[in-house]
Amino acid sequence: MTPRARRRDGYHHGDLAAEVRRHALALVARRGRPDFTLRELATAAGVAHSAVYAHYANKEALVAALAVEGLDTLNQRQAQAIAPLPDDALIRLHAMGLAYVEFGRRQPGHYRLVFMRDAGEHEDAAVGEARRRAAGLMLEVIRAGQAAGRVRAGDAERIAALLWATAHGLAMLAITGQVRDLPGAAADFERTVDEALRAVLDALRA
């Protein structure tokens, strides 16, 4: 059986959707934007163009599915990061920040789709709901920390935005390679991430 035939069999067994997503994410990570076409992905997967439409009605549906997948993965990674930790909001928020940056570094395709879209761009309802789920965990930890007297009083969403801005900036330095322009940070990026997160959390301490 030829590789192409095997790939067609994979499609019939439900593997094509995952293969198309892998190719799409690789292109986004490399190009920085979802400027692929479904025809291009079908060619990469070794199937007829029409086969891709059996899984995704159009490019927008695929992009939305990838964004939801990315957000839910991020949410899961952050939940796993804090699960074994003591019930201390500052410790948990630090772990969530580390998990966020690591997600961006390891899954740049997902990250670019989720956090680097154009302002004002229409967002699928399912993506918006996944975004709220991902944000909800951090808000929950912040509010618990405020109730326990560990996190300063104030708008929890504003505090979450400060933490997100810090983690997002760090992730972007890594994803774009711009960290190389900052020798002091690039020499030990993990330490840079740790210290930056601790600095902002110290400012948010009650």
What's residue 20's pLDDT? Answer: 86
∠ CA 100-59-25, rounded to 5°: 35
Amino acid, res. 111: Y
**Cβ count near 186 (within 10 Å):** 15
User: For every one of its 206 residues, what pLDDT tens digit does the chain have, with 9 covering 90 and above?
Assistant: 344 444 444 444 458 888 888 888 888 888 878 888 888 888 887 887 778 887 888 888 888 899 999 999 999 999 999 999 999 999 999 999 999 999 999 999 899 888 876 655 667 788 889 989 989 999 999 999 999 999 999 999 999 999 999 999 999 888 888 777 777 666 788 898 999 999 999 999 99
Residue 189 tokens read as: 């990026």
What's residue 180's pLDDT? Answer: 77
What's residue 89's pLDDT? Answer: 97
Q: What is the pTM of this model?
A: 0.84
What's residue 121's pLDDT? Answer: 61
Residue 104 and residue 20 share a domain: no
| Three-state SS letters, the chain | CCHHHHHHHHHHCCCHHHHHHHHHHHHHHHHCCCCCCHHHHHHHHCCCHHHHHCCCCCHHHHHHHHHHHHHHHHHHHHHHHHCCCCCCHHHHHHHHHHHHHHHHHHCHHHHHHHHCCCCCCCCCHHHHHHHHHHHHHHHHHHHHHHHCCCECCCCHHHHHHHHHHHHHHHHHHHHHCHHHHCHHHHCCHHHHHHHHHHHHHHHCEC
Amino acid, res. 36: F
Residue 45 and residue 20 share a domain: yes
Q: Please give the Cα distance from 173 to 64 (Å, whole number).
A: 25
Q: Please give the Cα distance from 144 to 151 (Å, whole number).
A: 8
Residue 8 and residue 74 share a domain: no
Residue 46 and residue 148 share a domain: no
Q: Which residues contact 63 (CB under 8 A, 6 or more apart)?
A: 24, 34, 113
Q: CA of 90: how far to CAs of 35, 55, 62, 82, 197, in Å? A: 39, 42, 37, 11, 10
Residue 47 and residue 93 share a domain: no
Domain housing 115: 59-203
Residue 167 and residue 119 share a domain: yes
What's residue 144's pLDDT? Answer: 97
Q: How many domains does the chain have?
A: 2
Q: Can you give the CATH number for the domain in which 155 is found? A: 1.10.357.10
